Chains A and B, each alone.
Chain A
Amino acid sequence: MGPARGFKKRRRPEKKADAAVKAAADLDSGDWWDEFSERITGPLSLSKEAGRFESVLKISRKAFNYICSLVREDLITKTSNFTFSNGQQMSINDQVAIALRRLNSGDSLLSIGLSFGLNHSTVSQVTWRFVEAIEERGIHHLQWPNSEQELEMIKSKFEKMQGLPNCCGAIDSTHIMMCLPAADASNKVWLDPEKNHSMVMQAIVDPNMRFRDIVTGWPGSMSEFSVLRSSGFFKLCEKGARLKRKKMTELGGPEIGEYIVGDSAFPLLPWLITPYQGKELSESMKRFNNKHLSTRMVAQRALTKFKDTWRILQGEMWRPDKNRLPRIILVCCVLHNIIIDMGDEEGGATSAANCHDMSYKQQICSFSDKDGVPARDKLSQYLSSRLPP
């Protein structure tokens, strides 16, 4: 009876996939949230707004539906099914909701498992599948502007902020903290200057606080300058493939190329303008620094909002898989952009402090490129000339 047994084996995954599709379709038709919110138990159920969709998942329903549509196909094709502890099969919406809760609450696997009636390992598996699916399907939400028109829009928005022409983005870095055993000598490399184990994340942000470029995975002991230098963005800019060097701002005005703005932790380059350093600065320099600070503040706000929303990255993970963590960070960045793209004002509470790296001292990079100094001077000169008399 060999062939019959083989036939049975082959049929099983198809059955499972069919069941998953059916379950997803059934739940889409009714109000899935009503049923799901009833399942919430434990401390989460005791909160006043437990029944409110946005307070639990921290995104709008519109954004949630969009995310579900993005990952549906990927999650359906996975063969194994996930069930709640009462034996009920999990729909796509259930899986997305649990993964989102895991990523944005900062709660442990055990705690989330208790809240939704799940085993903690199921929470882990569901979250990781969701991460893989978003990584595959949602990466187009995080990319450098691929058309001139899009870049022009970004530049004009930056110019409207503080008058900086041709600015294409604001760069900043933050540390994603981890709990690693200090006794293990191999973990020393993850110790940052503040003696925390962390992973560096570098982001270039547009005026809408959307991430346009991400570099992460490097250990905390690596300086922000080193992370920048090893990035693809740096190489593209140095080759001239990204951020054009010379462009006339207006007839007769100084030549100012495209650039991004960053704080003193970054080097001064023709395409990366940093503030003037030192104590004895002229009035025009101070004015430039103020405008520069206000412009690059968008990156700080974005990172603060990002870490406030996706608290799994703020909650000092206990011995995380360092190969998986960068991918989780990337997915959180994609979700951050999706929330903005959906016009979602609900997502994430913005902290008043605008500080994403609390208790971290400002790193100072003394490097100035010989072409970077005149570029900054030209920009400062241009801004001074535009001042009202």
Chain B
Amino acid sequence: MLCSIPASRASSSWLNRLRASKGFPVPSDLDLEQFLRPSSIPNPTSPPPELDVAGLLSARPPRSRKKHPPLVDPPAPGKRIGDDEELQLFDLMRNALSDLFVMGDPRDLAARRKGLRKQMNPRACVPSASASVDCGASRAALETPPSSADNSVAEAQKGRTKMRKRGTGGQAADSDLSAYSRTEVTVIDTSSSAWKSEKALYRKGMVWKVREKKVGNFCRKKRRLGLGEKIADKKRVRPLADLKGRDLCAKLESQDERCTLIDNGANAKEFVDHCQMPRRPKSWRSPRLPQKSSSPSKSSLPFRLQVIAAKK
């Protein structure tokens, strides 16, 4: 375990600049930790200097999670009156820091280390995902059905739904959908390109939300087929082959939670082209690599060689 190194030396210049910009005096003896903590408790397991800011942020008292606290808090019942000045200073400093960094939940340090590069809680204006479908709905509501075809909502939900673990099934981790009861349904719609689809239906009173259900085992049936059946399957004339391909594509698409149904034929064809079943398992290949076609393209070949060399 690394011992704590005083942060004052490493970060004195930026701290001084910060204090100067906010109009505070710059005492020579005040440590950063002492400055931030009114009751300076020495922390023997403070993080290494390069993670100093993160450590300091995580060491804040729990009540400081509030993003924009009032500048002067009324003194708490058990609080000493003499500490008021320090508290004010602390709050001011915290505000200044919260302007620079996003102050999140300090509990998960590991997650914070990764998350520091980006804002973890971007303050984006997310449109309401609710789509009331009662009979008295307006024309605007009529034009934006509650189904997964609502791309704007789907996009807004994308970030959050990605966090859901695959196969959890029952509970919706979506914060917006937590108040909704979830039902999984298989819907047959002969006018839809994917005429058979699995959907997750969220209901709260008269408000319904429909999401495409993630299907992770869409090719399980294929794998289960025996050799004889595989041969017979290839020989068979399939009137529904096109439809099935679209269905598969829709499922693939739903895996990505894009939640868009294939509406026109052109799109469907495009998806079919991209959704060829892999002929052999490519377990060595990173799933993040782009799979442009079943045959190896010129551009992908050097990359594959690189991967093999790296494995050696």
Contact = CB atoms under 8 A, between A and B. Distances in A.
A136 interface: yes
Contact of B189 (A73, A232, A369): A232
A327 interface: yes
B247 to A, nearest CB: 12
A358 interface: no
A175 to B, nearest CB: 15
A79 interface: yes
A127 B141 CA distance: 42
A189 B135 contact: no
Interface string A352-385: 0000000000001111011000000000000000
Nearest to A187: B183
A330 interface: yes
A53 interface: no
B201 to A, nearest CB: 7
Interface residues of A, number: 55
Interface in B174-205: 181, 183-193, 195-196, 198, 201, 203
A217 to B, nearest CB: 4
Interface in B143-186: 143, 145-147, 149, 181, 183-186
A322 B136 CA distance: 30
Contacts of B189: 214-215, 231-233
Contacts of A324: 186
A364 B188 contact: no
A217 B203 contact: no
A327 B186 contact: yes
Nearest to A230: B147
A222 B208 contact: yes
Interface in A218-262: 218-219, 221-223, 225-226, 229-236, 238-239, 241-242
B193 A79 contact: no
Contact of B190 (A17, A79, A213, A219): A213
B188 A326 contact: yes
Given A225-B133, A235-B145, A367-B137, A322 B190 contact: no
Nearest to A363: B135
Contact of A235 (B146, B149, B181): B149
Interface in B217-253: 226-229, 232-233, 236, 238-240, 243
B85 interface: no
A267 interface: yes
Nearest to B263: A235
A369 B135 CA distance: 12
A238 B208 CA distance: 20
Contact of B146 (A186, A230, A239, A365): A230
B158 to A, nearest CB: 20
Interface stretch (A104-112, A138-146, A157-165, A303-311): A138-146
B239 A73 contact: no
Given A223-B135, A365-B135, A327 B203 contact: no
A367 B137 CA distance: 7
A329 interface: yes
Nearest to B136: A366
Contacts of B139: 369-370
A216 interface: yes
A14 interface: yes
B203 to A, nearest CB: 6
Given A222-B208, A230-B146, A189 B133 contact: no
A282 interface: no
Nearest to A334: B190
Interface in A70-106: 73, 77, 79
| Most chain A CB atoms below 10 A, which of B146, B185, B190, B195 | B190
Nearest to B190: A214
B261 interface: yes
Nearest to B237: A73
B188 to A, nearest CB: 4
A230 B210 contact: yes
Contacts of A226: 133, 146, 208
A8 interface: no
A327 B133 contact: no
Given A213-B190, A226-B208, A230-B146, A221 B203 contact: yes
Contact of A367 (B136, B191, B227, B236): B136
Contacts of B193: 232
B28 interface: no
B264 interface: yes
B183 A189 contact: yes
| Most chain B CB atoms below 10 A, which of A213, A242, A324, A326 | A326
B142 interface: yes
10 contacts: A10-B227, A73-B236, A139-B190, A142-B190, A217-B188, A218-B201, A229-B145, A232-B192, A233-B189, A330-B188
The 3 lowest CB-CB distance pairs between A and B, nearest first, are: A232-B192, A232-B191, A217-B187
Given A214-B189, A322-B185, A367-B142, 16 more contacts: A13-B226, A186-B181, A189-B201, A215-B190, A215-B191, A222-B208, A223-B133, A226-B146, A229-B145, A231-B189, A232-B190, A235-B261, A323-B185, A326-B188, A367-B135, A367-B137
